[in-house]
Structure 1
Amino acid sequence: MPLDLHFILFLLLRMAIAAAFVVSASFITERAGPVIGALVATLPVSAGPSYVFLAIDHDAAFIAQGALSSLPVNAATIFMALTYVVLAQRHSLVVSCGSAVALWIALASVIRMFDWTLIAGLAANFVAFGICIPLLSGYRHVKMPLVTRRWYDIPMRASLVATLVAIVVSTSGWVGPRISGVIALYPVVFSSMMVILHPRIGGPPTAAVLSNSAWGLLGFGMAIAVMHVAVVEFGSPVGLCLALATCVVWNLTLWWIGRRAMKPRSP
């Protein structure tokens, strides 16, 4: 088999696997409501497959360096969410989503210019979430109208994730770990939620889903830090597994805390 054809077929397989992840997560999100949906949205549905495929093509040092670039990008994502949430209360999808994405691109462009350390990346996350979580808390509780899925919703989300994986995998060899780490963290799930839900149920309910994602996104940032440390110490397979476990345990803990808070207290 020619080398180019082998590469194309392997790339298409990777894109299909990534698309299957986002389709599964989308079905869970639509059936579980905004709170559980927000927790599912902050699992590594798009970044996870990207990093798995990067680990297939590159060594542990590449993955560890990419994680250092991804860590501050997670802070940019929470500012993107805050921008959308605030603007979506009164403005159209184009204004709200366009401004949020433009801010993310601007912040990511600045982030890629620096060599980040683990401490600096963690500090950026704690400062960003310390600012954004209190500001987002007032937008979390909105009555969620019934969402009717249209035929193109799932294919659009799947194609966005598949495209992201294709870009990350295809360009990683010449852009290096720093830019690969930035691209891998593009918030595909958040962007697709804005585009799909805002025209259908309105800005405030869509903003409520993103607002409920803030704590889960903080755990995702911790998972990136765990991945960096574990990849350096134990190699890429162990590092990726520990990062996924961190996300799952963090979100299950948030779900358990939420369930306890909702239970009526006995007199």
Structure 2
Amino acid sequence: MPPELHFLLFLILRMAVAAAFVVTASIITERSGPVIGALVATLPISAGPSYVFLALDHDAAFIAQGALASLPVNAATIFLGLTYVVLAQRHNLIVSCGAAVAVWIALASIIRQFDWSLTAGLAVNLVAFGICIPLLARYRHVKMPLVTRRWYDIPFRAALVATLVAIVVSTSGWVGPRISGIIALYPIVFTSMMVILHPRIGGPPTAAVLANSAWGLLGFGMAIAMMHVAVVQFGSAVGLMLALATCVTWNLTLWWSGRRKAAH
């Protein structure tokens, strides 16, 4: 088999795996309500497959360096969320989502100019979430209208994630670990939620889902830090598994804490 055809078939397979992953997560999100949906949305639905496939093509040093670039990008994502949540209270999808994505791109462009250490990345996340979580708190509790799924919703999300995986995998060899780590963290799930839900149920209810995602996104940042440390010490496979375990454990803890508060 020609090398070009082998690469193309393998790329299509990776895109299909990523798409299947996001379809499963989307169905769970739609059936579980805004709080649980937000926790599912902050699992590594898009970044996870991207990093798995990067690990198949590159060594542990590449993955560890990519994680260092991804860590401050997680802080950019919470500012994307805050921008959308505030604007969505009064503005339409184009203004709210467009401004949020523009904020993310601007911050990501600044982030790529620097060589990040683990300490610096954690510090940026600490400051960003310290600012954004209190500001998002007032937008978390909104009565959610019934959401009727349309036929193109899940294919749309799957296509976005598959496209992201294709970009990350096909360009990683020449853009290097830093840019790969930034691209892998583009918030595909948040963007698709805005695009799909805002026209259907309105800005405030859609914003409530993103506002509820703040604490889960903080755990996602911890998982990225764990991935960097574990990949350096134990290799890519162990590092990726520990990162996933960190993310899942954090979100389960948030869920259990929320149920406890509701019971009381």
Q: TM-score range by the shorter chain?
A: over 0.9
In the comparison of the two structures, how many residue pairs are matched?
Answer: 264
In 1, Cα distance between equivalents of 2:62 and 2:74 = 19
Deviation at 1:94, TM superposition (A): 0.1
Q: What is the distance in 2 between the residues matched to 1:115 and 1:171?
A: 20
**Structure 2 Cα separation of the partners of residues 195 and 243 of structure 1:** 29
SS in 1 for 2:22: helix
User: Please, what TM-score do these two structures have when normalized by structure 1?
Assistant: 0.99
- Could you list the per-position Cα deviations for residues 10-43 of structure 1 after superposition, in whole angstroms to 9, with x for gaps in the alignment? 0000000000110000000000000000000000
- Other-structure match for 1:226: 226
Q: Paired residue for 2:120? A: 120
Distance 2:135 2:21 in 1: 31
Distance in 1 (alpha carbons) for counterparts of 2:83 and 2:103: 8
CA distance in structure 2 between the partners assigned to 1:167 and 1:102 by the alignment:
20
Name 1:241's counterpart in structure 2: 241
TM superposition shift of 1:82: 0.1
> Where do 1:95-174 residues align within 5 Å?
95-174=95-174
1:204 counterpart residue number = 204
Letter in 1 for 2:117: T
Give the C-alpha shift of residue 137 in structure 1: 0.1
Q: TM-score, normalised by structure 2?
A: 1.00
Kindly provide the amino acid, as one letter, of the partner of residue 209 in structure 1.
Answer: V
- What is the Cα-based RMSD across aligned positions, in Å? 0.3
**Deviation at residue 224 of structure 1 after TM alignment:** 0.1
- Give the gaps of 5 or more residues in structure 1: none
What corresponds to 1:32 in structure 2? 32
Which amino acid letter does the alignment assign opposite residue 232 of structure 1?
V
Aligned to 1:256: 256
1:8 to partner: Cα distance: 0.2
Offset, 1:177: 0.1
What amino acid does structure 2 have at the position aligned with 1:55? A
- In structure 1, C-alpha distance between the alignment counterparts of 2:58 and 2:228, rounded to whole Å: 14
1:116 Cα deviation from its structure 2 partner: 0.1
CA distance in 2, matches of 1:93, 1:22: 23
Partner of 1:184: 184
Match of 1:86 in 2: 86
Q: 1 CA distance for matches of 2:109 and 2:166?
A: 20
Q: In the alignment, which residue of structure 2 is the partner of 1:53?
A: 53
Letter in 2 for 1:103: V
Residue in structure 1 matched with residue 22 of structure 2 by the alignment: 22
Secondary structure at 2:148 match in 1: coil
- The amino acid of 2:252's aligned partner reads L
| Structure 2: segments with no counterpart, 5+ residues | none
For residues 25 and 151 of structure 1, the distance between their equivalents in structure 2, rounded to whole angstroms, comes to 16
The C-alpha deviation readout for 1:117-141, integer Å capped at 9, x for no partner, is 0000000000000000000000000
Letter in 1 for 2:62: F
